[in-house]
A and B are shown apart, each in its own frame.
Chain A
Amino acid sequence: RKEVEQDPGPFNVPEGATVAFNCTYSNSASQSFFWYRQDCRKEPKLLMSVYSSGNEDGRFTAQLNRASQYISLLIRDSKLSDSATYLCVVHSGGGADGLTFGKGTHLIIQP
Chain B
Amino acid sequence: NAGVTQTPKFQVLKTGQSMTLQCAQDMNHEYMSWYRQDPGMGLRLIHYSVGAGITDQGEVPNGYNVSRSTTEDFPLRLLSAAPSQTSVYFCASSYAGPPYEQYFGPGTRLTVT
Contact = CB atoms under 8 A, between A and B. Distances in A.
A32 B98 CA distance: 9
Contact of A99 (B95, B100, B106): B100
Contact of B50 (A32, A44, A95): A95
Interface stretch (B11-19, B36-44, B64-72, B79-87): B36-44
Contact of A97 (B33, B90, B95): B33
B94 to A, nearest CB: 5
B41 to A, nearest CB: 7
A43 B106 contact: yes
A32 B41 CA distance: 22
A27 B100 CA distance: 18
Interface in A63-111: 87, 91, 95-99, 101-104
Interface residues of A, number: 21
Contact of A49 (B35, B56, B99): B99
Nearest to A104: B42
Interface of A: 8, 32, 34, 36, 42-46, 49, 87, 91, 95-99, 101-104
25 contacts: A32-B99, A36-B102, A42-B107, A44-B90, A44-B102, A45-B104, A46-B102, A49-B99, A49-B101, A87-B42, A95-B97, A96-B31, A96-B50, A96-B94, A96-B96, A96-B100, A97-B33, A97-B56, A97-B58, A99-B45, A99-B100, A99-B102, A101-B43, A103-B42, A104-B42
Given A32-B98, A49-B101, A98-B100, 20 more contacts: A8-B40, A32-B99, A34-B101, A42-B106, A44-B104, A46-B101, A49-B99, A87-B43, A95-B96, A95-B97, A95-B100, A96-B31, A96-B48, A96-B94, A96-B100, A96-B102, A97-B33, A97-B45, A101-B42, A102-B42
